[in-house]
Amino acid sequence: MNLRIIQLMTLALWSMAVLALPCRAGSLDDYYLQQFGETAGAPLKAVSELSTEPLHPHCGMPLKRDLRRDWDKLEPATQTILAKQLAAPVLENEATLTWGHFVIHYATTGIDAPTPTLPYTVATWVQQVATTFESAYTAYQSTYGYRPPPVVPYHVYLRSLASLKIYGQTTSLAPVPSVGFPNAYSSYIEIDKDFTNAIYTKIPVLYTPLQSLQITSAHEFHHAVQFGYNYFFEKWYAEATSTWYEGELYPAVGQNYVYVHPGLSTVHVGWIWRWMPMPLPPAPATAAGSSTVT
């Protein structure tokens, strides 16, 4: 069987298992309040109940999509608390860069303000973000033939996401029905402000900020494409295909995903662990010690 098919099937099986877990939680209100760190005295827990530290950063789309899906089932008080999770971010002293099909929003002061590592300045990093997303746009439309998201320019927000242990998240905004696409939704993307936190750059992650930006733009913008077709997609399939295209757009980065469970070591599926909100199995000592990113 083709190796890439084996990879996709394996990811799909893991995705289906993990994404089904939240249903085990108590009341829906308590579940979402806890997941978004809004339960009094409870630490932020934006990952599955089975998670243990340390966690690799992953994608925040599934949780936010579930929140919108279940919104009408929540108590008004819960909706009041969690409304900010579905609204576009408000950044401190926000500045924007409009480039191609994108508007990049970033804070100029406060915790969300980018502090990129050299050789980047804030200005050149924000430009890099815009250029990288534009590359994803071009690839999905021109190379792979997808229709673009229903609303452009598309808005991308830089935020400090390391504390949430996520690379990025795509959140649906509003229905934008059209002929042939009655369930299309607009959306927006949040990505980490600069990917310089150790959870993105240190063992066992080993990505440069640019590499994290590349794979995150490929992954999250594919979610934007998915929302543009049909909001009611299957989460496991959305995660599997977004991760798949990350490797399609940036195969050189994918070649360095070496943190594979020993039982899967004959199939190169290390990229599974980066996006799935579940604990990592111990990485082989030899793999961790010899891994590099070039």
Binding site for Zn ion (CB under 5 A): 59, 61, 239, 242
CB atoms within 10 A of CB 136: 25
Tokens standing for 285?
Answer: 């000592």
Shortest Å distance, C-beta 159 to Zn ion: 16
CA–CA separation, 193 vs 157, rounded Å? 8
100, 123 in Cβ contact below 8 A? no
Nearer to Zn ion, 34 or 171 (CB): 171
Q: Which of 197, 264, 287, 291 is nearest to 9 (CA)?
A: 264
Instruction: Please list, residue by residue across 114-126, b when 16 or more beta carbons sit within 10 angstroms of its beta carbon and e when fewer do.
Output: bebeeebebeebb
Nearer to Zn ion, 59 or 162 (CB): 59
Residues near 167 by Cβ (< 8 Å), separated by ≥ 6?
Answer: 57, 58, 59, 161, 191, 192, 195, 200, 212, 215, 216, 219, 220, 274, 275
Nearer to Zn ion, 192 or 239 (CB): 239
Nearer to Zn ion, 158 or 240 (CB): 240
Task: Tabulate helix, strand, coil % of the chain (nearest 5).
Answer: 45, 15, 40
Residue nearest to Zn ion (CB): 59
282, 261 in Cβ contact below 8 A? no
Shortest Å distance, C-beta 292 to Zn ion: 26
Nearer to Zn ion, 51 or 242 (CB): 242
